[in-house]
Amino acid sequence: MMMPIFLRREQGFTLIEVVVALTVLAIGIVGLSVVFPLAMRDVSKSGSVTKAVQLCQQKLEEFQMLAYDSADLDQGYIHDDDVNPIDGVYDRTWEVTDDQPITGCKLIEVTVSWQARRQESVSLSTVIAQAGR
């Protein structure tokens, strides 16, 4: 016996197909929910590193504007208690070393540190030479 034509052309999804599709979708959503917090942590860390590099660069540029024999460029380790912590988070220190890497030059290393999940820090350095060097 022949089925009527309108019954044979009926299309749709079976219950098994729907369950399989929902399972695949659920696995994908669970995978994203695991990765999302990791990505957010990385974005936050990169923002902190960017701010720290900016603070280092700012201080190095201030030093480059000074005369070689300026009192601010005297040899030693400096922790400026008047401005630290910067933005309530970042601690900026610097060290000036005379006659490094050669005589007549000063090596300046600026370090910015902050507390995240653990102690983090960024350091940048520059060399300033006497005029005529």
How would residue 127 be classed by pLDDT, with cut points 50, 70 and 90? very high
pLDDT 10s digits, 24-33? 999 999 988 8
Distances in whole angstroms, Cα of residue 113 to Cα of each of 13, 41, 81: 59, 18, 14
Q: Is the pLDDT of residue 6 over 70?
A: no
Q: What is the pLDDT of residues 90-120, one digit of tens each?
A: 999 999 999 988 998 999 999 999 988 889 9
Q: Per the structure block, which two tokens stand in for 47?
A: 């923002």
pLDDT of residue 125: 95
C-alpha atoms less than 13 angstroms from C-alpha of 133 in its C-beta half-sphere:
13
Q: What pLDDT, on the 0 to 100 scale, is given for residue 94?
A: 93
CB 110 within 8 A of CB 93: yes
88: left (phi over 0), alpha (psi -120 to 50) or beta: left
Pairs from 2-10 (Cβ < 8 Å, separation ≥ 24)? none
Nearest CA-CA partner of 86 in 48, 43, 118, 41: 48
Taking only the tens place, the pLDDT of each residue in 63-90 is: 999 988 888 888 889 888 888 888 888 9
